[in-house]
Amino acid sequence: MKEDKNLSEFYKVAILGATGAVGTELLELLQTRNFPVAELKLLASPRSAGSTLKFKGQNLQVEAVTDDSFKDVDLVLASAGASTSKEWAKKAVEAGAIVIDNSSAFRMDHEVPLVVPEVNPKAAALHQGIIANPNCTTILMCVAVWPLHQVQPIKRLVVATYQSASGAGARAMEEMKTQAKEILEGETPGTDIFPYPLAFNLFPHNSPLNEQGYCQEEIKMVNETSKILGTNEIGITATCIRVPVLRAHSEAINLEFAQPFSVDKARRILSQAPGVTLVENWQKNYFPMPIEASGKDDVLVGRIRQDISHPCGLELWLSGDQIRKGAALNAVQIAELLVEKHWLRVEAATV
């Protein structure tokens, strides 16, 4: 919440995966957005237990997550990976907490809402204890295309992603820095997090491939976008690429509509869309860049142009902070929505 809401209720909040890249961003956002925290618990694996993180001027100790960690907790912001979420999320719900989960563990569960607050906020009311945060590239794309889809339904969506090291976590970011130094010093770069050197290189996303040749990341974008937009009638295909950018993802998106959609109209819509900043200077060939999207809440969108191969096609380009709007910010915005609408309880609310 960007301003104090004079709320009478404050909540006991836990961050699961507090020491990771997204976890530390969650900590900062809870503070800077004045979320009504009565008490904050920082949870992580045993190897991170005992370390300290600062919140509102206080040093809080990180605890190892246990069966008793969620007692009296109202809200859990989970960002510790799918296997960890599968192990602990339902235990947290059983203890009476609401879980906003940043992993892929529950995204396609029919009983779990998959929410981007700018797109489908009412879905959050239908939670039964767990709300899923979508994949980072899916969030960024949905924020950009939803305002257009509302005006004129999209028939087909083709996206190519340019995904930074941050998508693989803090250790991956450090690995790319080290690789760059090794390459510049004439050494062979080491690999641990990624299968191949990312510095001065790029490669298709290294998640597992299916029989159709699509990687897991690409299938996430296809399935999650359909669920968020509430339709299976959009033809969606994705190509996901890991690029040597430290933080913030970019995407090239091609949209096909049933009728022509003018560039000027699309530009007007996106210039007023929530969560979007229009970035275009055609004279200077200046459009969204990950270096400028890093640390920003909004998704930067620009280079909106007519697809010269199709009369009903539009092209656009975006950059967005994967750690922020692509993960932590979206989760905190969901939490704010729950508080504002009084949906912060396990029983499904009535929309």
Cα distance from N-terminal residue to C-terminal residue, the chain: 22
66 is in an annotated binding site: no
116 is in an annotated binding site: no
166 is in an annotated binding site: yes
User: Active site residue: 127, 136, 142, 205, which one?
Assistant: 136
Catalytic residue flag (residue 205): no
19 is in an annotated binding site: yes
305 is in an annotated binding site: no
48 is in an annotated binding site: yes
| Nearest alpha carbon to residue 249 among 149, 159, 351 | 159
Catalytic residue flag (residue 240): no
230 is in an annotated binding site: no
Residues 76 and 33: their CA atoms lie apart, in Å, by: 17
Nearest-Å Rg of the Cα atoms of the chain is 20
CA distances from 30 to 26, 236, 279, 328 (A): 6, 34, 28, 10
Residues 264 and 270: their CA atoms lie apart, in Å, by: 10
84 is in an annotated binding site: no
3 state SS for 71-98: CCCCEEEECCCHHHHHHHHHHHHHCCCE
Write the CB contacts of 256 (distance below 8 Å, at least 6 apart in sequence): 154, 155, 156, 157, 307, 310, 312, 313
320 is in an annotated binding site: no
Q: Using an 8 Å Cβ cutoff, are 78 and 62 in contact?
A: no
User: Active site residue: 149, 240, 249, 312, which one?
Assistant: 249
Residues 228 and 230: their CA atoms lie apart, in Å, by: 5
20 is in an annotated binding site: yes
47 is in an annotated binding site: yes
247 is in an annotated binding site: no
Binding residues for phosphate: 107
Residue ranges of the binding site: 19-22, 47-48, 107, 163, 166-167, 242, 322
Active site amino acids: 136, 249
